[in-house]
Structure 1
Amino acid sequence: MWRGLLRVYWMFTEDSVIILMQNSLSQDCFGRPISSAPDSWIDVVERYSNDNNKTLHRTSNSTRCLNLGSYNYLGFAAADEYCTPRVIESLKKYSPSTCSVRVDGGTTKLHTELEELVAKFVGKPAAILFGMGYATNSAIIPVLIGKGGLIISDSLNHNSIVNGARGSGATVRVFQHNSPAHLEEVLREQIADGQPRTHRPWKKIIVIVEGIYSMEGELCKLPEIIAVCKKYKAYTYLDEAHSIGAIGKTGKGVCELLGVDPADVDVMMGTFTKSFGSCGGYIAASKEIVQYLKHTCPAHLYATSMSPPAAEQVISAIKVILGEDGSNRGALKLAQIRENSNFFRSELQKMGFEVLGDNDSPVMPIMLYNPAKIPAFSRECLRQKVAVVTVAFPATPLLLARARICISASHSREDLVKALEVISNVGDLIGIKYFPVEPHKTHAEESRKKLE
């Protein structure tokens, strides 16, 4: 017995040492500082190490790189002709911070205007703002449900949802990723069994899903999931961090894209850190739910409110998307992000890469699998002046490492062609083209010739 335990202990420690060594050796691939706005091109600060990456030292030099890592889906993260002047004016008027919580002196006209605008944009009666996207999930879920309640969560939901569910005190069950059939199976079983030990009926059941899954690039099967929830009278909670503003004909997210009535979604959550080029998050729901949150949610009662310039940035960005700035730039941005995303995904697949996700999604993971290929892919892309984000354990399972590409409306076709050429070369070099390459020339090669 002891020999067996000792063997397990040594296996565990050896794996831990390997992971720690790997993290140390590939430390230069993560946390790279930049010295510019996260636009289509960024300045990556150069670093060096004298002790095999145990410590990294910044230099005064930077490298101009094509940015394939930021969530700048609509290009609002850089200076904008409509948004930027208004943000600067709000900074002069309100300062960078309210220095107060919402219920004290932290509510400005911008906060109330943005809440009304968000509710109108997503199609719900009311909305409430928070200063941080992650805290929106982790702080809201424990307020909506507690002991005696049941949370049924998609197996690939974001860490903020996982932590919010764990902190709620409710019973948590997981269904297979994006599987309405398994969701129904779990719902039926849990409703039949009831609460643990007592078998009393559940006080409340909430099903939590995401619009676009951030590590998969997949769209939620929302119509089918809502049908299951209606059948069993469960509430639905939709996280649209990566989908709001980025997809749908007018940028209103997964509901618009898939033809779902927002009234069928009980709680709609989203962040301003992606498509809107700002920070913070929101909850949009019925007036009763929002009013309840304003009286009970710690993130509203005790956290400093959203920065006024950040709120103005979101207001201005939504107005551009809706065309209320007097131009058609919003429609052009939405058309560009769809075209760029579908072009890039199609070309990667033709090259032989395994690319996850669905069409129209600006998130496209390229599967690396082998953890040793993470630093090889990241460093070689950077050497060729393309900045990419690689994802490793524990964000993904150890043997499901990937590079997560995020496409922006600010990327030109020339940018995308350059990125495809570099990724193709690196893919050949480190051996991550897992499918046969089509014999004919890709559109990227044809586009390159036209550009030349």
Structure 2
Amino acid sequence: PKMSVEHEEQFEPTPYVVAIITYIGYVMLAVFGHMRDFLRNHGFEKNLIATEPARTKDFVPLYQNFESFYTRNLYRRIRDCWNRPIRTCPGAEFELIDRKSPDHGWSFEYPGTHTRAINFGSYNYLGFAETDGPCADAAAAATETFGCGVGSPRAEAGNLDLHTRLEATVAEFVGAEDAIIFPMGFATNALNMPALIGKGCCVLSDELNHSSLVLGARLTGAKIKVFRHNDIADVEAKLRDAIVYGQDRTRRPFKKILIVVEGVYSMEGSVTRLPELIALKKKYKAYLYLDEAHSIGAMGPHGRGVVDYFGCDPRDVDVLMGTFTKSFGGAGGYIAGSQHLVALLRQRSHSGLYGASLPAPVAAQVVTAFQMLMGRAGPPGEGARRLKQLEVNTQYFRASLHRLGVIVYGHRTSPVVPVMIFMPGKIAAFGRETLKRGLGTVVVGYPATPIIESRARFCLSAAHSLDIIDRSVQIIDEVTSLLLMKYSRRPPPAWTAGITREWAEAQLKLVDQQRRPHGAANGGPVPRRPVECRGDPPDKVADENDAAVKDNLAAVAAAS
């Protein structure tokens, strides 16, 4: 397996001048915010802030006014850059509903118009969020058979055969003994970690872990030790301390030590150093919890996440967690591992016992997406094509941005691509200017990021064509030049030298040739048996689809 990712990741430090200007910008915002609060409190400015009613003035306040200072004086004024409503499927492009604020973000008005833009804000990594194709057909068939919702937890009367089939498919795909699915990705972390560990245990958590992991760790009641991001030496040092010193006060040994990391970090675009972590957990007899929400389906030659990317044995990861929201165009999440682990979660998981079952259309969508990646549904080779398209798109987009001179964070194959903005005044400007030119993306600032590391986050998709990427890079070039955001003082990484449009076209042409039938005797395409996905129960549809795929593959083999 690959033993390091450092040479493939870029984290250029914030330039000192930019950092100083950014701090000054936040200080000025704080000063003006206090001035505005003074004017509001003394009646010089209309006060639209939620306040405690007079009849409860002697009660303990429900909230502290200062707690909303940042939201009130910064976020509110630029909140048109977030929570943008859309009116179409979030594919390669989408349509946003236009809105205007007459009072600087306190409220919105909707004029009834809309804007079409390139979509770099959705986690549609493999392009399965679509309105036609095998996944959409399977979801429609499941809706006709089962309806939109089950109306019950699985432990009562909400367990469909689709759920069982999805669990078996997930376990097979990731290479685990068993798997269990949940209706919400966030809750998959937050409500299942307390079922695995508790008081008397220790959690070693990466400092950049998602809030669902942070919340889950806190709910366990275990001792939490935070290590520096992707710093293996710090992980080992904290592992040793946990083993040597044990629990606080009593110094008894910890019952369990759980290392919690993500496969791809959603704000940094970085990749965990999985082989080194596996070696550490074996050396010190700890457990490893891997969140593959942003890497399952998006990393590795077969789309099986960072475990696949590094060539590791999935059995070396004790808890394999992932979601269906990103790469599979659905909702919910899963945990895969040993049969003992999954059996324990079926008995103790609050999310599994009390949460409503995953809707049948979503389960059918996700099952079909997995089957396409495994070559068992859809056009032959379609899953492999999407995986390759995403990989090529990611490297081509990243290389193009590096050549512009902007600071780009993350791993070269990570579909999450952060471009650094830094200054608070440029957060809204970048989001608005790119949308004005037809590019929709997500801008992120404090407190979601460190105070001087505001950024724009682009999410690549297999649905993006090379022409779309070229047009997007052109827009980013215009906006970053306008806003003076080309901060990089380093030359582009060496790996970008050969990543050109010609390289990308050659890579895609190669995978297209590998999946294209060689043709029948007359030189035409191989006739394929149509795959029907509507009208029949999903188990019957699945059987017919499997037979259709086998027939198609047999026809291709005969023609070649």
**TM more than 0.5:** yes
| Alpha-carbon distance in structure 1 between the residues aligned to 2:477 and 2:32 | 37
Larger radius of gyration: 2
The partner residue of 2:352 within 295, 300, 305 is 300
Kept in 2, the 8 Å contact 1:38–1:78? The answer is yes
Helix, strand or coil for the counterpart of 2:329? coil
Tell me how far apart the structure 2 counterparts of residues 65 and 349 of structure 1 sit (CA, whole Å). Answer: 23
Identity value in percent? 44
- After superposition, the CA RMSD in angstroms is 2.2
Cα distance between partner residues in 2 of 1:409 and 1:171 = 41
Query: Normalised by the size of structure 1, how large is the TM-score?
Result: 0.94
Flag the 1:124–1:428 CA change in 2: closer, same or farther, 3 A.
Answer: same
1:5 matched residue in structure 2 = none
Q: Does 1:345 pair with 2:398?
A: yes
Q: Which residue of 2 aligns with 1:111?
A: 163
Partner residue in 1 for 2:83: 31
Shift of 1:208: 0.4
| Structure 2 residue 477 is the aligned partner of structure 1 residue 424 | yes
Answer yes or no: is 1:232 the counterpart of 2:284.
yes
Q: Cα–Cα, structure 1 residues 241 and 262, in superposed 2: closer, same or farther, change >3 Å?
A: same
Secondary structure of 1:361's counterpart equals coil
Contact 1:350–1:437, Cα closer than 8 Å, also in 2: no
Contact 2:129-2:329 at 8 Å conserved across structures = yes
**1:406 aligned partner, one-letter code:** C
CA 1:37–1:198: 2 relative to 1, 3 Å: same
Partner of residue 360, structure 1: 413
Return the alpha-carbon distance in structure 2 between the equivalents of residues 146 and 409 of structure 1: 41
Structure 2 counterpart of 1:297, one-letter code? S
Q: Does 1:284 align with 2:336?
A: yes
Return the offset for 1:412: 0.5
Kindly state the Cα deviation for residue 321 of structure 1 after the two structures are TM-superposed. 0.9
Which position in structure 2 is the counterpart of 1:401? 454
Residues of 1 paired with 2:271 and 2:229: CA distance?
11
Q: Are 2:467 and 1:414 equivalent residues in the alignment?
A: yes
2:303 aligns to what? Answer: 251
Q: Is the 8 A contact 2:33 2:73 kept in 1?
A: no
Using a 3 Å threshold, how does the CA distance of structure 1 residues 25 and 444 change in structure 2: closer, same or farther?
farther
Q: What is the CA–CA distance in structure 2 between the aligned matches of 1:433 and 1:202, rounded to whole Å?
A: 49
Tell me which residue corresponds to 2:233. 181
Gaps of 5+ in 2: 1-29, 35-65, 505-560
Measure how far apart 1:53 and its partner are.
1.8
Alpha-carbon distance, 1:395 to partner = 1.2
Alignment of 1:374 with 2:437, yes or no, is no
Question: Once the two structures are superposed, what CA deviation does each residue of 1:15-57 show, in whole Å capped at 9, x if it has no partner?
Answer: 9646532111101101010000010000011001111221112
Q: 2:256: which partner in 1?
A: 204
Counterpart check, 1:329 vs 2:382: yes
Identify which of 81, 95, 104 aligns with 1:52: 104
* 2:133 pairs with 1:81: yes
Matched, 1:242 2:294: yes
Pick the structure with more strand per residue.
1
Contact 2:177–2:338 (Cα < 8 Å) also in 1: yes
Aligned to 1:317: 369
Which range moved further: 15-24 or 31-40?
A: 15-24
Report the count of equivalent residues. Answer: 439
Query: Is contact 2:409–2:419 with CA below 8 Å preserved after alignment?
Result: yes
1:42-191 equivalences under 5 Å are 42-191=94-243
Shift of 1:12: 13
Change (3 A) 1:426 1:99: same
Cα drift, residue 443 of structure 1:
4.6
SS at match of 1:26: helix
Give the match for residue 316 of structure 2.
Answer: 264
Secondary structure at the counterpart of residue 203 of structure 1: coil
Q: Distance in 2 between matches of 1:46 and 1:402?
A: 23
Q: What is the CA–CA distance in structure 2 between the aligned matches of 1:437 and 1:144, rounded to whole Å?
A: 45
**TM-score after normalising by structure 2:** 0.76
